[in-house]
Structure 1
């Protein structure tokens, strides 16, 4: 396996813990990350979540109970999870998964801050129009 960056780290082990809703990843440099499914869903690299450019990100809510129902390999560079809410278009490269793990506390606080600024809560349902401009799921 190889990441997108030459000589980059690659997963040595990935375990989906359905009960605790955690994806555990161990990388070739020894780093281990426990990534909650909600965190992965909120930071999906898909256009539905990230938009098509800076400032177009869609704040995700209602993802606390989301499950990963499938985790499919994509070439030798990433995985594509299918979440229980039907979202399945985000490809998580090894580099992005590593970044999510390394920056987890900062990114999670940023998400909580964005929720507060938008006067939203983690468990609020997504607005009906969200996610429909990029072809649905």
Structure 2
């Protein structure tokens, strides 16, 4: 897997995501550090060939409103995410946290229309090749609802 390029900035703009040489065959995966549910989300990101990655989990969730935003830390740098993405990652790290995660809003460069188009074209393959697809249907007062789809 190719790691992200370094930067001295405190924020991680999409330009500093690890490159995809072929966005129709490669993906980025997050490795989320184990932590408590309410702790900061810290992770690393790397690119890899979709057909060669051994195991990863994919997260399916609704993006929700743009605001409020939360932040995660990728390779020590701040990366803004929507509230629903943050919550889905909080849930996912409690489930097999040693397995890398693919989540579209972070792993696809949302500012690169060519990459975004190519990645949307392979999303079916991404979900099909995932060891587990985790479906986060949002926060619930009754219970935390996070289930695994087969």
TM range (shorter): 0.3 to 0.5
The answer to which structure, 1 or 2, has the higher relative contact order (CA under 8 A, 6+ apart) is 2
More strand by share: 2
